[in-house]
Structure 1
Amino acid sequence: MHRFSGAFSGTPMTELVSLSGIRKNYAGVQALKGVDFDLKAGEVHALIGENGAGKSTLMRVLGGETAPTSGTVRLYGRTVQFSGPRDATRRGISLIHQELALAPDLTVAENIFLGRLPRIINHRRLRKAASEILGRLGFAIDPAIQAGRLTVAHQQVVEIAKALSNNARIIVFDEPTAVLANSDAERLLAIIRELRAGGTGVVYISHRLNEVFELSDRITIMKDGAHVETRQTSAADVDEVIASMVGRRMSTLFPPRDGRAPGRVVVEVRNISRGQKVRDVSFSVRAGEVVGLGGLVCSGRTEVARLVFGADRMDAGTVELNGKPLHLSSPRKAVRARIGLVPEDRKEHGVILDSPIRINTTLAKMRSVARFGFLDVDKERRVAASLGAEMHLKAESVDAAVSSLSGGNQQKVALAKWFHADCDLLILDEPTRGVDVGAKGEIYTLINDLARAGKAVLVISSEHQELFGLCDRILVMAEGAVAGELTESEFTEQHLLTLAMTGSTRERDNASQ
């Protein structure tokens, strides 16, 4: 692999940045409470904590996106005050946010060099330069394609390429692997190691603790806007770190499955197809059952969910709900049939960010909060408040905009909408993507409660341990088709990946011998 060099030629472990006593107040609320954080050249410093712990706010201070209420920022040994994000970028700092910030109508190449484009663009030269950076990352992405046409995973790669094009000395990665397949995530982690070897300082924010322990040199834990502790990763223990973050150990995250007894078939999917993306897929989900849909990114999992939900039209096949055939030509008809879908991209399709929590939570079943054909706002507030309490939603009020919430709480709002709709089948596509450990445990409990209440649940996840901890059985997809099914006794990484990568039940059986 090409070694990235020239980012910073200082002595390894030279301090690049030091944040001291950083406080940030928003309308009387203390988002940061005197936080200390530092980063050295040639290290990966992991920053972890629950959603709302203050990690992103602290990094926005580092990136010049927000000014601290008080405290000191020292960069390369000198005290600085950023005039804005561009100032921080010019000084060698790049932030890669969890939520993508690409211009969808511009090409990949234009996005990578956005902000540095000349008045007269030599597109051939621009595409060549973009291809070189993407090639160094190991991804064959067409630099001439519009960024909005890329998958979410490839959009994340373009964000990373954009940061690398700045030859930054300091790079902040906020949940960079959340939407990447395992092979792509490993490729990214290898790139970060190369950056570290070249002297770049990396701040790594992730809820995937296996990555944190595999990659980082130090770990800083934040909670409720405050610094809890910083320790060498080599001296840290996963259970102790989780306990410092949320007050309980990892073994307690997944609720026990007792009380769940699969009953009648709720949904029967037979031979559905859509081009080469979904090929002759069949499966069923019973009442009180959680069925997983595993496989690599782009294996067809999300496409299956969209077909069942009526978001895309199938070329062939049938879907039956409670023994009756459905003709789902639109999501609206699916909702009327009592099918719900929490999509993988919650900000684009799962919630309306600028609307209040109360509207989002009742949107799928508005007639329940209407009176004589008119919206009863007081009833809407009561229903939203009840759902919020059930889901342990952290918000100032149900009138607050969803955009004001942390990622985990936004996901709870997306779930609350379908809880209120009382669906017979609920499809959850990456239900805990970008969600902290504590919120994950709460969402797992909610999913388990749905199954115990007799609902049929289909869970799509790239986190294998999530599938193993939640599901009664797992269907593994490869190249648009169901490669095989795993029962609980077969829940291993080896079995799942063998199916996902070879598409062969026979290969799986041979691998287990």
Structure 2
Amino acid sequence: MNAVEATGVTVRFGRTVALDDVRISVAEGDTHALVGRNGAGKSTLVSVLTGMRAPDAGSVRFSGVAAPGVADRAAWREKVACVYQKSTAVPELSVAENLFLNRQGPLVRWKALRRRAADLLEQYGVAVHPDARVADLTVEQRQLVEIARALSTGARLIILDEPTAQLDGPAIERLFDRMRALRAAGVSFLFISHHLQEVYEVCRTVTVYRDARHVLTAPVAGLARAELIEAMTGEAGGLDVPDGADRTRSAQPVLELAGLSGDAFTDVSLTVAAGEVVGLAGSASSGKHELAETVYGLRSPSAGSVSVGGARVRGGDVPAALRAGIGCVPRDRHHQGLVADLSIAENASMTVLSSFVRRSALRAAGRAAIADYDIKAAGPDQPVSDLSGGNQQKVVVARALAADPAVLVLINPTAGVDVKSKEALLGVVDAQARAGRAAVVVSDELDDLRVCDRVLVLFHGRVVAEFDRSWRDGELIAAIEGMS
């Protein structure tokens, strides 16, 4: 029996075909991956499987029974739930309130509500207090609360949309352990991820969409990684990441950190030369993100200094960092990198917007960004909210480079993007280094670090190891986990 089966599903937005006669079936108790490039149709399928959108053609059945009508939200909640990359929990409410949101009845009995919440959290092994404010939880805890909320409605199919994008290694393993335990209890998962290694680690079956069409469904165990990437891209071969082996770098220092301390890191000294790419690796609690955010002025240092070209940069001041020649791709494009309602041209030019007094000049800059970074878009006036994740990230990169910075800081630069977008973004880093810029790449993904000339590993806020570009996965992971 299939937990869900969708057949012949077609969805159109005007002349655009978002899904073209696709199919997918998730067996009961299975963990089924859905992968594809940005724009392949994955998000549109999720909207159909969760009852947010009726397909123009095709059908959806849960455990052999036709899906409810779109208006019957309670019936959909009993069938399926989605835990999105961006949490849908209400941050200012308590865990208990979120668990039973819109289900607490006209008269709330708070003591009974907290007791029911505590029982539910214990049942699914979620170690948080019912009275805790969701805003105070970690990303991992919020996800587990949302999974518990979904299961409490009776849903036996959980869709996980990029669930690991903001988790570190140990948190990802705990999530996978929880998924395995729930799968053994009969819960089914549809797992959407751009991290192909995770597909091999936690999924049994994989379906590939490409250009809004179904391409492949196969057991994960019998599918080589190169075959999977070929199915996603339509091109033979694996991920092509420039390793910088033939790059030349200057002896001239561009970025200098001297005894820098701040939130979650202590006494970091580092010099990055012109044409050099330095990686920062470590767990989510290592301090690597906080260090990078201090470099570009989002955080204030408690000691030490940041200098560009020998001139000290005022700490805790993003405009000062921009004026000093530091461009940044922040770790969360949705909240820190883009203004969703503005156009591609406005977002890509935001760091130099005062330079444009005419609309024609702004649109010309937008067209240049689209051409330079291969942004798939209708034109410079298109809102960035209409773009796929990979193309949104390219706009963020265009914005970071618009002011021609001497230093480029990139935090998780390929998070939530497909294979080809990943190649393109890392290619931009390589090209900027060849043009003489200094770059710092901070990432949780090993593939992102292959573009680096050397990689520094932080552990509990201190630099504990440094590797040249010939590093191996095992030794880098061991240093990240504190085992070297």
**Displacement after TM superposition at 1:235 (Å):** 2.4
- Post-superposition shift, 1:128? 5.7
Report deviation, 1:261.
1.7
Distance 1:458 1:219, change over 3 A: same
Unaligned runs of 5+ in 1: 1-13, 509-513
CA gap of 1:139–1:422, structure 2 versus 1, over 3 A, is farther
Equivalent in the alignment of 2:247: 260
Distance change >3 Å, CA 25–CA 199, structure 1 → 2: same
SS in 1 for 2:179: helix
> Which of 486, 495, 500 is matched with 2:467 structurally?
486
Q: How far apart are the structure 2 equivalents of 1:338 and 1:244?
A: 41
Q: Measure the CA separation in 2 of the matches of 1:177 and 1:137.
A: 19
Q: Corresponding residue for 1:413?
A: 395
Who is 1:54 aligned against?
Answer: 41
Q: Distance in 2 between matches of 1:274 and 1:426?
A: 20
Once the two structures are TM-superposed, the CA of residue 150 in structure 1 deviates from its matched residue by 3.9
Distance 2:453 2:358 in 1: 40
Other-structure match for 1:495: 475
- CA shift, 1:161, in A, is 3.6
CA contact (8 A) 2:23 2:214 kept: yes
SS at match of 2:381: coil
Letter in 2 for 1:477: L
2:178 and 2:28 map into 1 onto residues whose CA distance is 16
Aligned length: 483
Q: Tell me by how many angstroms 1:169 deviates.
A: 1.0
Amino acid at match of 2:359: V
Distance verdict in 2 for CA 1:132–1:345, change over 3 Å: farther
Aligned-partner SS, 1:53: coil
Q: Distance in 2 between matches of 1:148 and 1:410?
A: 26
| 2:58 counterpart SS class | strand
- 1:111-510 to 2 correspondences below 5 Å: 111-121=98-108, 126=113, 130=117, 140-249=127-236, 251-263=238-250, 264-274=252-262, 277-368=264-355, 370=356, 375-467=357-449, 469-489=450-470, 491-502=471-482, 508=484
Q: Distance in 2 between matches of 1:144 and 1:98?
A: 24
TM-score (norm 1): 0.88
The answer to whether the aligner puts 1:64 opposite 2:44 as a matched pair is no
Query: Residue type of the partner of 1:274?
Result: G
- Offset at residue 376 of structure 1 (A): 1.3
TM-score calculated relative to the size of structure 2: 0.94
| Paired amino acid for 1:284 | T
Q: Which residue of 2 aligns with 1:25?
A: 12
**Inter-partner Cα distance in structure 2 for 1:266 and 1:103:** 44
Please state whether the residue corresponding to 1:470 is helix, strand or coil. Answer: coil
Post-superposition shift, 1:141?
Answer: 4.2
Contact 2:68 2:76 in 1 (8 A): no
Moved more, 138-147 or 39-48: 138-147
2:444 is paired with a residue of what secondary structure? coil
Distance verdict in 2 for CA 1:77–1:396, change over 3 Å: same
CA–CA separation in structure 2 for the residues paired with 1:454 and 1:132? 59
Return the alpha-carbon distance in structure 2 between the equivalents of residues 136 and 287 of structure 1: 55
What is the CA distance between 1:71 and its match in structure 2? 1.1
Following superposition, the deviation at residue 41 of structure 1 comes to 0.6
CA shift for structure 1 position 23? 0.7
Q: Deviations over 1:58-117 (max 9, x none)?
A: 111010011111111122212234324834543320111223222222233333332323
Q: C-alpha displacement at 1:484, in angstroms?
A: 2.1
Question: AA paired with 2:463?
Answer: V
CA apart distance, 1:363 = 0.4
Q: Deviations over 1:382-420 (max 9, x none)?
A: 111111112111111211111111111111111110121
Decide whether aligned partners of structure 1 residues 252 and 437 sit closer, same or farther in structure 2, where only a CA change above 3 A counts: closer
Partner of residue 15, structure 1:
2
Residues 303 and 153 (structure 1 numbering): CA distance in 2 closer, same or farther, change over 3 Å? farther
Deviation readout 1:148-186 (Å, 9 max, x if unpaired) = 344445444443343333342111111111211111111
Q: 1:484 to 1:473 in 2, by over 3 A?
A: same
Instruction: List runs of 5+ in structure 2 lacking aligned partners.
Output: none
Question: Displacement of 1:28 after TM fit?
Answer: 2.0
Contact between 2:10 and 2:17, CA under 8 Å: does it hold in 1? yes
* Equivalent residue for 2:73, pick from 58, 79, 86: 86
**Does 178-187 or 97-106 show the bigger shift?**
97-106
Alignment check: 8 A CA contact 1:288 1:456 kept? yes
Q: Secondary structure at the match of 1:91?
A: helix
Distance between the aligned counterparts of 1:381 and 1:30, measured in 2?
28
Letter in 1 for 2:434: R
* 1:308-367 deviation line (CA, Å, top 9, x unaligned): 111122111111111111213311111111112211111011100111111000000113
Question: 1:249 offset after TM fit, Å?
Answer: 4.6
- Give the distance between the partners of 2:453 and 2:109, measured in 1 at CA: 55
- More off after superposition, 322-331 vs 346-355: 322-331
Deviation of 1:130 (Å): 4.7
CA separation of 1:33 and 1:447: change in aligned 2, threshold 3 A: same
More moved, 149-158 vs 375-384: 149-158
> In the alignment, is the contact (CA less than 8 A) between 2:68 and 2:75 conserved in 1?
no
RMSD across aligned C-alpha pairs, in angstroms?
Answer: 2.2
Structure 1 residues 192 and 315, CA, compared in 2 at 3 Å: closer, same or farther? same
